[in-house]
Amino acid sequence: MSTGDGGPGLRVAVVGGGVVGLTCALELARAGHRVEVHAADPWEATTSAVAAAIWFPYRAAPTDAVLRWGAGSLGVLTRLAADPETGVRMLPGTFVHRTADPDLWWTPGVPGVRPAVPGELPAGAPAGTRCTLPVVDTGRYLPWLAAECAAAGVVPVPGRVAALDEVAGDVVVVAAGLASGALLGDDSGVAVQGQVVRLADPGLAEWVLDQDGPAGLTYVVPRGRDVVVGGTAVEGATGLDPDPGVEAAILERACALVPALRGQPVLSRAVGLRPGRPTVRLERLEVGGRPVVACYGHGGAGVTLSWGCATEVAAEVAAVAGGRRAAASASSSQA
């Protein structure tokens, strides 16, 4: 195999089997590296599987890098929406505003952004911003992504990694969400608990996101076969059992925004722990004499940033490969 520029591919161990880890693995394999993914849980047990997964850089920083990574992912997801097998669809929707000067920092690079007109606003919403964004059905997208990895030659290795010296490889990519910090001596991460309930879809054609509602965060994301309704963002909470009282409050808020949801049966419910961090960590370092690329702390934006971050992870690994070729060439010429 080659890295695409004539050099041999490296053996790369990716730690983490959620959306960020799998996307990094796929990009690395496509670049010609020999890739193994070490996953503590199957995809359906990851935080990624709980996400409503609309493209939106929620609780992610720093702004400049997030916009760059988000733009990269937006382009890829928009293209993937042309293939129904991926589980990605482009849907219009409304971001509700409850202040006179909303912060639209996330909109650069998003096409078709405009103010909502009164007839487009959900019940009780004073103002809003309209745009069309990718909505990712993770129940279809994650198995599609895993199948793409398998087709590219990525080897799955089940089991939890407790220390980086447990995995072999020329380079290690740490993309294990909340478990990443412990592998790199970084205690800056924090769980941000999110609870959702999935209802039968009454035929909704648009999503709604209301971050500043007086009763709490609310989002309604239709996926055709169901509607993901949320949510919460409880920093530091680590429980994974759905709270019936919290669910009732979520449903009341959602039904106030989208009355068509009233009476729809509950299909499933879930709680996930977003990997919060003051900033996303994406950098190359050395651990135990071996290059390691950190890629974690994506908050509520794992899907949103996945492809953009994977591109930069692949560039970091390519730099390692290039450095090794240069060193080998220098050694050969001296001999």
- Partnered with residue 172 across adjacent β-strands are 13, 292
How many Cα atoms sit within 13 Å of 270 on the Cβ side? 20
Q: Where residue 180 falls among pLDDT bands split at 50, 70, 90?
A: very high
What is the number of other CB atoms lying within 10 angstroms of the CB of residue 334? 6
Output the pLDDT for position 8: 58
Alpha-carbon distance 209 to 34, whole Å?
40
CATH 3.40.50.300 is right for the domain spanning 1-87+137-188+278-335: no
Helix (H) / strand (E) containing 174: strand 171-174
Band (124; pLDDT cuts 50, 70, 90): confident
3-state secondary structure of 146: helix
pLDDT digits (tens, 9 = 90+) for 286-330: 999 999 999 999 999 999 999 999 999 999 999 999 988 888 777
Q: Which two tokens stand for residue 220?
A: 């309604």
pLDDT of residue 334: 66
The string over 112-136, giving b where at least 16 C-beta atoms fall within 10 Å of a residue's C-beta and e elsewhere, is ebeebeeeebbeebebbbbbbbbbb
Q: Of the given ranges (36-50, 100-114, 321-335), which has the lowest mean pLDDT? A: 321-335
Domain with CATH 3.40.50.720 in the chain: 1-87+137-188+278-335
CA distance 142 to 152: 15
> What CA–CA distance (Å, rounded) separates 88 from 134?
6
Residue 257 carries which DSSP code? H
Comparing CA positions, the residue from 136, 111, 125 lying closest to residue 48 is 136
CATH number of 90-134+190-276: 3.30.9.10
Sequence length of the chain is 335
pLDDT of residue 1: 41
pTM over 0.75: yes
